A and B are shown apart, each in its own frame.
Chain A
Amino acid sequence: MSPESATAVEKNLQMRLWRGDAEGGEFTEYNIPAQEGEVVLDVVHRIQAEEAPDLAVRWNCKAGKCGSCSAEINGRPALMCMTRMSTLNIEEPITVSPMRGFPIIRDLVTDVSFNYAVARRVPAFQPPKLAEGEVFRMQQVDVDRSQEFRKCIECFLCQNVCHVIRDHEDNKESFAGPRFFARLAELEMHPLDTLDRRRLTSEQFGLGLCNITKCCTEVCPEGIHITDNAIIPLKERVVDARYDPVAWLGRKITGKPDPTPAAVAARFAPETLAQQQEARSAGRIGTHPETSGAGTSR
């Protein structure tokens, strides 16, 4: 063991972890000796194994690749598995709270279903028709931009930190959040996608609510430039399609069609999608709520 590690071992960590559920909760302090080279998730796991076996924490890969262990460490949204203890001041208590932008399930685990609900509304890639035996040809420079957004690990830290929905719950109905602007930008900039998504982005995903304060970019563990490379370019494209007065006048004079007619947007309206889904499920998946069964609830 290296000499500096010997001193680190003697330190005691004061970890203040949020314990609680929808009924309420509080920070509970755990004192646990520091170990060398640990990340916050390691410490949380040791607390779980030694002191609090029922401490709820969501995690998977512990390598910053799956985006499961999102939390707020000393108030900063971050992945627990990628936050080294050595980057924190361990002289003071370290707080770990769940993502405060989402409903609580238990302890450090939140209900992120909002994101999955939005994901269902994003129209998928619409490929062009290929002739028999033909394959896609795309230049690297043309896929570079979309590839950046496809690095997204869906940790939802950007969704958590975005004040548009974090501080204004009601906007969750009309605002998709940074993760989905990155997704929309990825599709919009795809060199072969055939659907114009500009009106959708503005009208149904609430791009205009974003005031580009860049917290999404600041917390992104993958270093994706969400604001500069996704949101702002989308805003500019929306200007082309909707707000640019000269372009609008030009279309009126030359009789060119609206690049994103309302009809396209209507196809992907939440109500339309919900109806489709309902029709699909009704025909296929059934449930028997009357069936009762095992287990005493605890």
Chain B
Amino acid sequence: MTIVDPAKSNMSVTAVQIGKQRGGPPLTQVLRKDRWWLQPALIVFGLSLFGIYATWAAFRNGHYYAGPGLAGGGRDYLSPFYSPCLADVCNSQGQYTGWGPIFGTWWAISPALLILIFPLGFRMTCYYYRKSYYRSFWLSPPACAVPDAGSATPNGKRKRYTGETRFPLLIQNIHRYFWYAAVAFAGILTWDAYASFRFVGGYGMGLGSLIFVVNAALIWSYTLGCHSCRHLCGGGINKLSAHASRLWLWKNIASKLNARHQLFAWLSLIWIAFADFYVYLVSSGMIHDPRFF
């Protein structure tokens, strides 16, 4: 008497059988008829554009602060790429933080290169951006039911796919630490939005103030909708009903914003570049920042 042949009784615990003939045409043949390539193409375009702009902005090392000395009326606008202010240019009058420049004058390289590590780290490890760059840059896969780059090697041999199980992609698991930093940065950018209402001679409001408020709002919306944030708010708890405040945070803040994470990822990205560019234009005197009151 022997055991039922596992291959015949489909239900036994057996090692999964691999390598059997699949149905349909070969996987490398794409059967989709829609424009599946459009989305990855747009993402490549959008992220590349931002990359180019960010590089230029980071190495610019100038015109990132429209301060009190601005011709035609003092402002207190600091580019988000250069915030918090490390160099003394924005602290010449001790106004910005009240405690003077953090680094002082000896720092010669663009402070943005230091600062951007954090927001870039946050976004690089963000679950949404991971999806988009794995799809559009890695082609892993470029679209659903379209073969991924690893399966399409010309010699027919497939690359071993290890996902996020090995270094360096294993690092993606520390996303939450970048989130902690991102919360600090969101706080700083909120301060910047407040500071943008300070004018020489008292409070006021310019177009720049509006841009900074929107910037802070978008950054918060993106940061608080982060999957790690959702987990820390309450996602890790099974009996949420026993934790009323965390339930509220999880349900009404993190989960709601998380549902629009992709939207806020893009809006905040575009807007931060726009805010920087606006400061550049005002600071360099190319445009005049209209003041509402």
Q: How far is the CB of B6 from chain A (nearest CB, A)?
A: 9
B24 and A103: CB pair below 8 A?
Answer: no
* Interface size range on B against A: 35 or more
What residues on A are CB-neighbors of B259 within 8 Å?
Answer: 228
What residues on A are CB-neighbors of B24 within 8 Å?
Answer: 18, 25, 72, 97-100, 104
- State whether A75 and B11 are in contact (beta carbons under 8 Å apart), knowing that A103-B23, A215-B144, A232-B227 are contacts in the complex: no
Expressed in whole angstroms, the Cα–Cα distance for A172 and B15 within the complex equals: 10
* In the assembled complex, A92 has its CB within 8 A of some CB on chain B: yes
* In the assembled complex, B105 has its CB within 8 A of some CB on chain A: no
A277 and B236: CB pair below 8 A?
Answer: no
B27 and A210: CB pair below 8 A?
Answer: no
Expressed in whole angstroms, the Cα–Cα distance for A189 and B240 within the complex equals: 10
Q: How far is the CB of A216 from chain B (nearest CB, A)?
A: 9
B30's nearest neighbour on chain A, judged by CB, is A75
Q: Which of A114, A164, A189, A287 meets B163, CB within 8 Å? A: A164
* In the assembled complex, B155 has its CB within 8 A of some CB on chain A: no
* In the assembled complex, A243 has its CB within 8 A of some CB on chain B: yes
Contact with B along A115-143 (1 / 0, CB 8 A): 01110110000000000000000010110
Task: Name the segment of A7-15, A38-46, A249-257, A278-286 touching the other chain.
Answer: A278-286
B21 and A213: CB pair below 8 A?
Answer: no
Task: Name the segment of A28-36, A47-55, A59-67, A233-241 touching the other chain.
Answer: A233-241
Q: How far is the CB of B13 from chain A (nearest CB, A)?
A: 4
A235's nearest neighbour on chain B, judged by CB, is B173
B251's nearest neighbour on chain A, judged by CB, is A141
A236 and B235: CB pair below 8 A?
Answer: yes
Q: Using a CB-CB cutoff of 8 Å, which residues 103-156 of chain B contact chain A?
A: 127, 130-131, 134-135, 140-141, 144-145, 147-148, 150-151
Q: Which of A22, A118, A141 meets B247, CB within 8 Å? A: A141
B236 and A172: CB pair below 8 A?
Answer: no
- State whether A167 and B1 are in contact (beta carbons under 8 Å apart), knowing that A103-B20, A211-B140, A236-B227 are contacts in the complex: no
Instruction: Identify the interface centre among B33, B176, B240: most chain A CB within 10 Å of its CB.
Output: B33
Instruction: Identify the interface centre among B4, B130, B145, B238: most chain A CB within 10 Å of its CB.
Output: B145
What residues on A are CB-neighbors of B20 within 8 Å?
Answer: 22, 103, 111
* In the assembled complex, A77 has its CB within 8 A of some CB on chain B: yes
What residues on B are CB-neighbors of A166 within 8 Å?
Answer: 27, 145
B10 and A215: CB pair below 8 A?
Answer: no
What residues on B are CB-neighbors of A236 within 8 Å?
Answer: 176, 227-228, 231, 235-236
Expressed in whole angstroms, the Cα–Cα distance for A73 and B170 within the complex equals: 36
* In the assembled complex, A57 has its CB within 8 A of some CB on chain B: no
What residues on B are CB-neighbors of A147 within 8 Å?
Answer: none
A117 and B14: CB pair below 8 A?
Answer: yes
A233 and B3: CB pair below 8 A?
Answer: no
B138's nearest neighbour on chain A, judged by CB, is A211
B131 and A214: CB pair below 8 A?
Answer: yes
B23 and A100: CB pair below 8 A?
Answer: yes
B163 and A190: CB pair below 8 A?
Answer: no
A277 and B23: CB pair below 8 A?
Answer: no
Q: Which of A121, A171, A244 meets B176, CB within 8 Å? A: A244
A277's nearest neighbour on chain B, judged by CB, is B13
What residues on A are CB-neighbors of B164 within 8 Å?
Answer: 208-211
* In the assembled complex, A95 has its CB within 8 A of some CB on chain B: yes
A75 and B32: CB pair below 8 A?
Answer: yes
The 10 A-B pairs at the shortest CB distance, nearest first, are namely: A75-B31, A104-B23, A167-B151, A75-B32, A209-B163, A97-B24, A103-B20, A98-B23, A236-B231, A215-B144
List 5 contacting pairs A-B, 8 Å CB cutoff, sorted by A: A113-B17, A117-B14, A117-B15, A209-B162, A273-B13
Residues of B within 8 A of A (CB): 1-5, 10-25, 27, 30-34, 127, 130-131, 134-135, 140-141, 144-145, 147-148, 150-151, 158, 160-165, 169-170, 173-176, 227-228, 230-231, 235-236, 238-241, 247, 251, 258-259
Residues of A within 8 A of B (CB): 18, 20, 22-23, 25, 27, 72, 74-77, 89, 92, 95, 97-105, 107-108, 110-111, 113-114, 116-118, 120-121, 139, 141-142, 161, 163-164, 166-173, 188-191, 193, 206, 208-215, 218-219, 227-228, 232-233, 235-240, 243-245, 270, 273-274, 276-278, 281-282, 285-289
